[in-house]
Chain A
Amino acid sequence: MIGELDFFGVFVPSVLPLAILALVISLSLRVVLRRVGFYRLIWHAGLFDTALYLVTLLAFVLATRSVAP
């Protein structure tokens, strides 16, 4: 995950696209969970949202590391 990605000549850390992807995914997850009414069970929604994002990001990082070490 230290590696860099060549983005049209600009080097960006490879976590960046993963972080953006994780943001999109966790935002849509949140919409779904809200529709279901899941948040009524949550004590601290801010904490839950942050944790959800971090878990999603970690999942992506681990997944990409196992694909391309």
Chain B
Amino acid sequence: MPPRTPLTVTAKKLAFSCANTAAVLVALYIAFASNLERPYWAMFSVFVIAKPISGAVRSKAMYRLAGTLVGAGMALFLVPPLVQAPVLLCIATSVWVGLCVYGSVLDRTPRSYALILAGYTATIVGFSVVNRPESIFDTAVARVEEIGLGIICGAVAHSLIFPQSVTDELKRRVEAIVTASAQWISEWSSDAGRPVDLLAQQRLATAVTESHLLYSHVRYETSDAPRAHLLMRILEERVAVLLPRISGLQQMLAALSAVEARPVALPTLMATVSRWSQALARQRKLSAATMADESGLQQESTAALALLDRSAGGWLVLLEQAAIVELSELARALGDCRRLAEALEEGKLRLPASLENRARLSGSRALSADHGLALLSGIAATCATLLACVLWIGGSWPEGLVAAQFAAIGASLFATLDNPAEPILPAVTGILVALPFAAFYEFALFPRIDGFASLALVLSPMLLLLSFMQTFERLEGVALVLAIAFSGSLALAPSYQADFAAFANTNAAEIVGLLVAGVAILLLRTVDPLWNARRLSRAGWRSLCQLAHKAPRSFQWWLIQMFDRLGLIATRLVHTRPTSPASADLDPLRDLRVGLGIDALRKLEIPPDRPEARTLGAILEDIATMYEEKLRGHPGRAAADFAEHIDAGITAAWAQVPSAHRQAALAALTSLRLDLLPGEAPHLALWSPT
């Protein structure tokens, strides 16, 4: 790695603000020098793409440019044929905005920004030329030029002046994920009664999704940032395994204590795992001692399993065996996480040998897509734009076009947020706060200055302040709104023209537009979090049904998507009362465990002509039926002979000669039985030891 100039946090922030201010001024200068129509578009473009991480700046720049091109193209396509029919034009544009919002909510990666922009650029270009349609081409070109100028200035400035690589942030997050998981595992294994709380689920799953999104910027990083696709992909899968394993383990422990059994080897093994993960949480680099401990731990669990293999059969033995298998899988996954984080930290992207095999299995990852929510957001955006158009055309309000544009902008930008109505009020406040500043500049300062140098001088303090605000996570959104409102109301143009009526009218229209967007979103997209969690869970159940019916192309892919969904569900459930009966049957962790169990059974690869294969088929069939019943709204109704099938499976597996295969099969079947037939005492005949 090249040595980057070390900077303290404040110095980094100051460097960022200076780079940003320089970019704005350069963009303004070029825009004035080449006589562009609206230099302020270039100005706020710089603010929009500004991010503390330079890779993120460049990716956003690319998406913004692409989106602007598509949107301007769409306006070119729509306006000339429809300009004589304003109603049709409004409907067509609104539907386009809605479509784009639908696509962007589905996507969920930074790429969605391109679609958002394609949507509302069409309104910005299209609506501003309805009175003089012959100028559509010039306006479209001007928009693309000015946005492009701002983007290029911003991207170049942020890559040249003290760039912050995305890799550092990524390493920091991955490190945090691994340390936190090790800490949790240590706590959970020392205190078995402690449930895996929703908050922990939510934090871990959200952290993984966030680092996935962060990693998507690496493609746009400067060329020295290491490309670690495989590493990240396996890391995500390994982290996703941790939570279901822990919760499965706890379930087995609870079942063990319910029958007041004294497990033989489990308590000591748990204590070992607890100590070991405690050590893991404290060290960034695996020490030789910890590695030795890890192999010792695996040997210990193998020995314990061998002991159990020889003992007489029974539910207790099954439970303990399954718990040990789960525990050793958990330790293995945690160790892998640490090794992967270490590989990322050191920048050597050769995978640890134990994980290379896994890399071949994993497919590419997509986040889970939510069609229902996307559709609602799309409809809300369409309605907001249409409503503002009605105000504009119906009210014969010349500035109404600005309201329509801002309705589209507001509805698109806020659609991807979880609670989209929330930022509308701060946005309106931002415009109101920026107004006096803009008015001061426009009517008190600008008449007294002449030339670009003095303009740069008077603008600099404000630009520096706004850029500095952008570096704080909490102020970022506010700063952006302020910057856009400020540059929008300044409306710097090649020649000075003060028109107070237009100034006030345009700003009022912006606020009306945002309010219309807010109302539409509030009406259409405010959904009960519990209902949303149920919808997401149902999507999970459907994909579980598919998993039970047919082996997916890549189980890792299925797992990561399910894990992402778990984060979304947990986020919704955290805010509802924990004991509410409606959420009782929503347990995304159980669904994940069932998926893991199904995969473990599939991995046995029983030849289809063996009788065991028929039993396995029946079990999978039962699981699918059970989840189908759940989807139909009868959660309690288990498939009638599921208990019979799974017990037959356990008996058949028990009769095999002791092997890792047999242990895996027994553990998977026991865990499935616990998950799907909770609280039901097994009617198992006692077996003699093999």
Taking Cβ atoms with an 8 Å cutoff, the residues of A that contact B are 30, 33-34, 39-50
Report B186-236 residues with CB < 8 Å from chain A CB: 222-225, 227
Binds A, one of B155-163, B504-512, B541-549, B631-639: B155-163
Complexed CA–CA distance, A44 and B5 (Å): 10
The answer to whether residues A46 and B3 also contact, given A30-B223, A33-B223, A39-B224 and a CB cut-off of 8 A, is no
B159 contacts across to A, CB distance below 8 A = 46, 49-50
The residue from A40, A42, A44, A50 contacting B156, defined by CB atoms under 8 A apart: A50
The answer, among A40, A41, A46, for a CB contact under 8 Å with B222, is: A46
- A-B interface, 3 closest residue pairs, ranked by CB to CB distance from nearest: A45-B222, A46-B159, A45-B224
B1: Cβ under 8 A from any A Cβ: yes
Does chain A have a CB within 8 A of B2? Answer: yes
* CB proximity to A under 8 Å, residues B143-160: 156, 159-160
For B227, give the chain A residue with the smallest CB separation.
A34
CB distance from A46 to the nearest CB of B (A): 4
- Distance to closest chain A CB from B217 (angstroms): 14
**Cα of A21 to Cα of B1 in the assembled complex, Å:** 30
Tell me the complex Cα distance, A48–B159, Å.
10
Q: Are A42 and B160 in contact, with the CB atoms below 8 A?
A: no
- B residues in contact with A30, CB < 8 Å: 223
Interface residues of B in 1-51 (CB under 8 A from A): 1-3
Instruction: Determine if B160 and A45 form an interchain contact, defined as CB atoms under 8 angstroms apart.
Output: no
A42 nearest CB across to chain B (Å): 6
Q: Which chain A residues border B222 with CB–CB below 8 Å?
A: 45-46, 48-49
- Minimum distance in angstroms from B481 CB to a CB of chain A: 29
Contact of A49 among B2, B3, B223, B227 (CB under 8 A): B223
Are A39 and B160 also in contact (CB < 8 A) when A45-B2, A46-B54 are? Answer: no
18 examples of A-B residue contacts, CB within 8 angstroms? A30-B223, A39-B2, A39-B223, A39-B224, A40-B2, A41-B2, A44-B2, A44-B160, A45-B2, A45-B222, A45-B223, A45-B225, A46-B54, A46-B159, A46-B160, A47-B160, A48-B222, A50-B156
Which residues of the other chain, A, contact B223 by a CB distance below 8 angstroms?
A: 30, 33-34, 39, 45, 48-49
Residue with the highest number of chain A CB atoms closer than 10 Å, among B2, B3, B222 = B222
B225 partner residues in chain A, CB cutoff 8 A? 45
Closest chain A residue to B58 by CB distance?
A46
When C-beta atoms are compared, the residue in chain B nearest to A31 turns out to be B223
A45 to B159, CA, bound (A): 9
Q: How far is the CA of A22 from the CA of B299 in the complex (A)?
A: 58
Q: How far is the CA of A39 from the CA of B225 in the complex (A)?
A: 9
List B contacts of A39 (CB < 8 A).
2, 223-224
Beyond contacts A41-B2, A45-B224, A50-B160: 8 other A-B pairs, Cβ-Cβ < 8 A, are: A34-B224, A43-B2, A44-B2, A45-B222, A45-B223, A46-B159, A49-B159, A49-B223
Interfacial chain B residues near A33, Cβ < 8 Å? 223
Task: A28 to B227: give the CA distance in the assembly, Å.
Answer: 15
Q: How far, in angstroms, from A40 to B225 measured CA to CA in the complex?
A: 10
Query: In the complex the two chains form, what is the Cα distance from A38 to B461 in whole Å?
Result: 41
Distance between A34 CB and nearest chain B CB, rounded to angstroms: 5
**Interface set, chain B 117-166, CB cutoff 8 A to A:** 156, 159-160, 163
B1, B160, B163, B227: the one contacting A40 at CB < 8 Å is: B1
Q: Bound complex: CA of A41 vs CA of B223, how far in Å?
A: 12
Which chain B residue has the least Cβ–Cβ distance from A30? B223
Q: Which B residue sits closest to A53, measured CB to CB?
A: B156
Task: Check A43–B3 contact: CB distance below 8 A.
Answer: yes
Closest CB in chain B relative to A9 CB, distance in Å: 11
Within the complex, what minimum Cβ distance (angstroms) separates B158 from chain A? 8
State the Cβ distance, B221 to closest chain A Cβ, in Å.
Answer: 8
Note all chain A residues with C-beta closer than 8 A to B160.
44, 46-47, 50
CA distance in complex: A47, B4 (Å): 12
Task: Report the separation of the CA atoms of residues A13 and B225 in the bound assembly, to the nearest whole angstrom.
Answer: 34
B170 to chain A, nearest CB (A): 16
**Inside 8 A of A48's CB, which chain B residues have their CB?**
222-223
Which chain B residues border A42 with CB–CB below 8 Å? 2, 224
Give the complex CA separation of A41 and B2 in angstroms. Answer: 7
* Chain B: minimal CB distance from A40 (Å): 7
Q: How far is the CA of A53 from the CA of B2 in the complex (A)?
A: 20
Residues of A within 8 A of B156 (CB): 50
Closest Cβ of chain A: how far from B228's Cβ, in Å? Answer: 13
Q: Separation in Å of the A43 CB from the closest CB of chain B?
A: 5
- Nearest-Cβ distance from residue B685 to partner chain A, whole angstroms: 62
A49 to B225, CA, bound (A): 12
Alpha-carbon distance A24/B308, docked complex (angstroms): 63
Among residues of A, the one whose C-beta sits closest to the C-beta of B156 is A50
CA distance A58 to B312 in the complex (A): 81
**CA–CA, A30 and B160, complex, Å:** 17
Most chain B CB atoms below 10 A, which of A39, A40, A45, A46: A46
Residues from chain A with a CB closer than 8 A to the CB of B2 are 39-45
- Chain B residues, CB < 8 A from A34: 223-224, 227
CB distance from A65 to the nearest CB of B (A): 22
- Name the distance in Å between B2's Cβ and chain A's nearest Cβ: 5
B398 to nearest A CB, angstroms?
31
Chain B residues with Cβ below 8 Å from A43 are 2-3
**In the complex, what residue of chain B is closest to A33 when comparing beta carbons?**
B223
Could you say which residues of chain B place their CB within 8 Å of the CB of A44? 2, 160
A41: nearest chain-B partner, CB-CB: B2
A46 cross-chain contacts in B, Cβ below 8 A: 54, 159-160, 163, 222
When distances are taken between beta carbons in the complex, the residues of chain A under 8 Å from B1 are 40
Give Cα A49–Cα B160 distance, bound, in whole angstroms: 10
Q: Which of chain A's residues have a CB closer than 8 A to the CB of B54?
A: 46
A46 to B166 CA separation, bound complex (whole angstroms): 13
Most buried by B among A40, A43, A44: A44
List of A residues within 8 angstroms of B227 by Cβ: 34
